[in-house]
C-alpha cells in the first residue's frame, strides 16, 4: 500500500507529527498485539492511519454519533469505533498499551478528567501521545479557538498532575502543532468512581 494512499486523509500540517507518533508506537511493538485508544477520534482518520501504519488494534471513541457513523465507513478488521465520552470511559482499568489524540484535547470540556481516565485505562507500562495546537504561538493566535489551546508548559504540567512521567514535548517545523508524550506513572494512585457498564 503506498504511503500516499494512507496519508491522503491527513492535513499537510499533521503528517510530520503523526508519522513520529506512529514511530513511537512501533518502537513498542515487541509487546504482543498492542491495543491503542484514540480519544476524540472524530471521523476516524488517525485511528485508521495508525492501524494501517503499525498493524495495531485501534479503538476510536467520540461523543458524536454522526462522527462515529462516518468513521465506521472507513473501518476495517483492526479498527473499531464507539460512541463514548473520553471523560468517563466504559473500558476496564489497564486495557490499552497507548492512548492517542489528534487536535482534540483542547476541545474537551474537562481535559484533566480526560487525562485521568486515559491514565486509568492504560496498562502499567503504557504511554500517552497527544498532538494538539500550540497555545501562545504566533502561528495560532488568530485561530477561533486559540484561547482553548494549551501552551507546551501548561500541557506538560497537566500530564504530570494526572499521573504521567517522562513527559516531553516536540513541535512541528512550523511551530504550530506539538506532540506531547508521557508514560504512565506506576506509583500514581487515584480513587476512580465506579463505572457503569464497564467493558472487560
Distance CA 193, CA 100 (A): 23
- Looking only at the bridges linking them, the beta strands covering 177-184 and 96-102 are unpaired
**Confidence band (pLDDT; 50, 70, 90) for 188?**
confident
**CA angle 18-90-162, nearest 5°?**
60
Does the pLDDT value for residue 194 go beyond 50? no
Phi, psi (rounded to 5 degrees) for 52: -70, -35
Q: Is residue 197 part of a domain?
A: no
Q: How many helices (H) and strands (E) does the chain have?
A: 6, 7
Given this model, what pLDDT does residue 20 score? 97
Q: What is the mean pLDDT of residues 61-80?
A: 92
Q: Is residue 190 part of a domain?
A: no
| Buried/exposed code over 81-112 (b: 16+ C-beta within 10 A; e: otherwise) | bbebbbbebebeeebbbbbbbbbbbbebeebe
Count of structural domains, the chain: 1
Distance CA 1, CA 134 (A): 32
Given this model, what pLDDT does residue 85 score? 97
Q: Is residue 92 part of a domain?
A: yes
Q: Is residue 189 part of a domain?
A: no
Task: Name the residue with higher pLDDT: 6 or 24.
Answer: 24
Q: Where in the sequence is the domain holding 30, given as residue range(s)?
A: 3-184
DSSP 63: S
Does the pLDDT value for residue 195 go beyond 90? no
Given this model, what pLDDT does residue 1 score? 44
Q: Is residue 198 part of a domain?
A: no
Given this model, what pLDDT does residue 161 score? 96
- The per-residue pLDDT for range 51-65, each reduced to its tens digit, is 999 999 999 999 999
Q: What is the mean pLDDT of residues 75-99?
A: 94
**Of 86, 33, 34, nearest in space to 64 by CA:** 86
- The Cα-based distances of 106 to 16, 32, 40, 168, 193 in angstroms read 20, 32, 10, 18, 24
Q: Is residue 199 part of a domain?
A: no
**Confidence band (pLDDT; 50, 70, 90) for 187?**
confident
Task: Specify the CATH number for the domain of residue 113.
Answer: 3.40.50.150
Average pLDDT of the chain, as a whole number: 90
Listed in order, strand segments (DSSP E) in the chain are: 35-39, 57-62, 79-83, 96-102, 122-133, 164-171, 177-184
**Of 118, 125, 157, nearest in space to 39 by CA:** 118
**Of 4, 47, 12, 53, nearest in space to 172 by CA:** 12
Q: Is residue 192 part of a domain?
A: no
Q: pTM here?
A: 0.90
- The per-residue pLDDT for range 17-63, each reduced to its tens digit, is 999 999 999 987 665 579 999 999 999 999 999 999 999 999 999 99
Given this model, what pLDDT does residue 77 score? 76
Amino acid at each position: 500500500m503506498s504511503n500516499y494512499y494512507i496519508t491522503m486523509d491527513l492535513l499537510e500540517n499533521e503528517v510530520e507529527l503523526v508519522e513520529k507518533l506512529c514511530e513511537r508506537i512501533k518502537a513498542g511493538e515487541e509487546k504482543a498485539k498492542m491495543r491503542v485508544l484514540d480519544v476524540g477520534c472524530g471521523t476516524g482518520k488517525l485511528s485508521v492511519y495508525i492501524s494501517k501504519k503499525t498493524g495495531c488494534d485501534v479503538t476510536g471513541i467520540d461523543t458524536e454519533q454522526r462522527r462515529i457513523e462516518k468513521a465506521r465507513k472507513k473501518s476495517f478488521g483492526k479498527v473499531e469505533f464507539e460512541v463514548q465520552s473520553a471523560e468517563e470511559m466504559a473500558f476496564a482499568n489497564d486495557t490499552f498499551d497507548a492512548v492517542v489524540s489528534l487536535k482534540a484535547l483542547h476541545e474537551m470540556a474537562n481535559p484533566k478528567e480526560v487525562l485521568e481516565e486515559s491514565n486509568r485505562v492504560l496498562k502499567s507500562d503504557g504511554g500517552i501521545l497527544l498532538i494538539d495546537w500550540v497555545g501562545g504561538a504566533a502561528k495560532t493566535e488568530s485561530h477561533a479557538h486559540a484561547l482553548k489551546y494549551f501552551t507546551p508548559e501548561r500541557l506538560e504540567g497537566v500530564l504530570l498532575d494526572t499521573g504521567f512521567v517522562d513527559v516531553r514535548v516536540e513541535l512541528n517545523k512550523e511551530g504550530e502543532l506539538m506532540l506531547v508524550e508521557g508514560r504512565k506513572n506506576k506509583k500514581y494512585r487515584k480513587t476512580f468512581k465506579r463505572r457503569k457498564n464497564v467493558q472487560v
